Amino acid sequence: MVEKAFQKMFTVLMDVAIMIQAETIQNKLEVGGSFNSSDDLLDFVTKQGVIYGIYILEIELLEKNNGLDVAEQILKVDQNAQIIFVTRFNTSANYVFFRRIPALDCIVVERIGDDALQKRLNDTLELAVKKLDLIDQSPQIIFNYQVGRETYYENLDNVIYITTHNHKPHRLCVYLLNNTVDITGNLQNLLDRYPTLKRISQSCIINLRNVKSVDFRNHKIMFRNGDVEYFPARTNYKIRNLLKDFTNSDK
């Protein structure tokens, strides 16, 4: 999403980048649209349930959200989104790293000529497709749950954490990347079915993959969707070991 002249230029470059890709890459690309408003883009991503998307975002937007804010919102819905930032200012690129946004690339337009810009975009687009292929080929664990008579299926990676319900016995709140659902069940049964989920308290189990940060002084875990859950001080050592084991197993 960029100002009109900038947007027009990048639309042309993107069309060229798609056309020159090998046929195997081209067949995996479908242009979802070009958006002048962050609200329109986020509405599209949410309503269409976009996953494995490639997004080109300008950092400087003349509206309430900048490109960094938009990227964080996209990642809540499309966990495997491949984000490509573009900016006209070298200093703006630093904010990508300050905000710790997992971007595939950050292209500073004023520092490179048109030919170099085209090549950079071509290469980055090819890399994005290859990364998404690797993600798609990795084994996925399906989390299934029932609401009424309907059974739903969700990639376990999309489960952030699960808690017991405060006011309803034998009910659980499942917090997903883009939704929250109430289900019947108990935490121990889910731990038995999905060993990668870990208990941090009597009332909460979590998916370590969706932990953003841990504050051991205040005994709280912050998740990718912005939620916070607290754990008992006595479990500090246990939480540290869980994170250490998870980090080592993910290498």
151-195 tens-digit pLDDT? 887 888 889 999 998 888 889 999 998 789 999 999 999 999 999
Rounded CA-CA distance 176/16 in Å is: 37
202-239 tens-digit pLDDT? 999 999 989 989 999 999 999 988 899 999 999 999 99
Give the residue from 86, 18, 76, 28 showing the smallest Cα distance to 55.
86
Confidence of residue 2 (pLDDT cuts 50, 70, 90): very low
Rounded CA-CA distance 229/170 in Å is: 20
Average pLDDT over residues 57-74: 80
The pLDDT score that the predictor gives to residue 19 is 63
Rounded CA-CA distance 198/192 in Å is: 10
For strands 204-207 and 211-215, give the pairing: unpaired
Domain positions in the chain: 4-137, 142-249
Q: Provide the percentage of residues in the chain whose pLDDT is more than 90.
A: 29
Instruction: Judge if pTM exceeds 0.85.
Output: no
Domain 142-249, CATH among 1.20.140.10, 2.60.40.10, 2.40.50.1020, 1.20.1050.10:
2.40.50.1020
The pLDDT score that the predictor gives to residue 222 is 94
CB-based contacts of 220: which residues, under 8 Å, 6+ apart?
214, 228, 229, 230, 231
The pLDDT score that the predictor gives to residue 1 is 44
CATH topology of domain 4-137: Rossmann fold (3.40.50)
The pLDDT score that the predictor gives to residue 8 is 60
For strands 82-87 and 103-108, give the pairing: parallel
In this predicted structure, the answer to whether residue 121 has a pLDDT above a threshold of 90 is no
